[in-house]
Amino acid sequence: MTDTRYLVHGVFWDGPAPSAAGEARVVLRLQDDAGAIREVALDAGTRLGFRVTAPGKRCLGHHKVHGPAERDYVRCAERAAAERGHQCGTCFAVDDSRLVHDFHRGGRVPAGLRAYLMQPHWLYVATFANGASKVGTAAELRKWNRLAEQGAVAARYVAAADDGRIVRLLEDLVTRDAGLPQQVRSTAKAAGIAAPLLPADVDARNARRAAGARAVLAVAGSEGYRVVDEQWRRPRLADAAAVPALRHAYPHDLGSGTHGFETTALSGSVALARLDGADLDFVVNLASLKGRTIELGQHRSEVPAVQESLF
Ligand SMILES: [Zn+2]
The parent domain of residue 228 ranges over 122-240
Does the residue 235 lie in any domain?
yes
Does the residue 130 lie in any domain?
yes
Residue 95 C-alpha to ligand 1 middle, in angstroms? 10
Residue 90 C-alpha to ligand 1 middle, in angstroms? 6
Binning pLDDT at 50, 70 and 90, where does residue 311 land?
Answer: very low
Of the candidates 51, 53, 54, the one whose C-alpha atom is nearest the C-alpha of residue 300 is: 51
Binning pLDDT at 50, 70 and 90, where does residue 280 land?
Answer: confident
Residue 230 C-alpha to ligand 1 middle, in angstroms? 39
Secondary element (H or E) of residue 193:
helix 186-194
Residue 13 near residue 151, CB atoms below 8 Å: no
Q: Is the pLDDT of residue 309 over 60?
A: no
Residue 225 near residue 122, CB atoms below 8 Å: no
Residue 56 C-alpha to ligand 1 middle, in angstroms? 14
pLDDT tens digits, 133-166: 999 999 999 999 999 999 999 999 999 999 999 9
Residue 267 C-alpha to ligand 1 middle, in angstroms? 28
Q: What is the model's pTM? A: 0.92
Q: What is the dihedral of CA 295, 236, 124, 116, to 10 degrees?
A: 50
Residue 9 C-alpha to ligand 1 middle, in angstroms? 13
Residue 78 C-alpha to ligand 1 middle, in angstroms? 6
pLDDT tens digits, 95-127: 988 888 778 888 788 889 899 899 999 999 999
Phi, psi for 9 (deg, rounded to 5)? -90, -20
Nearby residues of 221 by Cβ (< 8 Å), 6 or more positions away: none
Residue 147 C-alpha to ligand 1 middle, in angstroms? 27
Q: Specify the pLDDT at position 3.
A: 83
Q: What's the total number of domains in the chain?
A: 1
Q: Is the pLDDT of residue 64 over 70?
A: yes
Does the residue 302 lie in any domain?
no
Integer CA distances (angstroms), 180 to 19, 125, 273, 307, in order? 30, 8, 31, 38
Q: Is the pLDDT of residue 53 over 80?
A: yes
pLDDT tens digits, 227-242: 999 999 999 999 999 9
Residue 80 C-alpha to ligand 1 middle, in angstroms? 5
Residue 195 near residue 247, CB atoms below 8 Å: yes
Residue 76 near residue 58, CB atoms below 8 Å: yes
C-alpha–C-alpha distance, residues 44 and 168, integer Å:
36
pLDDT tens digits, 68-102: 888 899 999 888 999 999 999 999 999 988 888 77
Does the residue 59 lie in any domain?
no
Q: Specify the pLDDT at position 235.
A: 94
Does the residue 43 lie in any domain?
no
Residue 4 C-alpha to ligand 1 middle, in angstroms? 21
Residue 51 C-alpha to ligand 1 middle, in angstroms? 23
Residue 96 C-alpha to ligand 1 middle, in angstroms? 13
Residue 33 C-alpha to ligand 1 middle, in angstroms? 14
Residue 185 C-alpha to ligand 1 middle, in angstroms? 24
**The length of the chain, given as a count of residues:** 311
C-alpha–C-alpha distance, residues 186 and 150, integer Å:
9
Phi, psi for 301 (deg, rounded to 5)? -75, 140
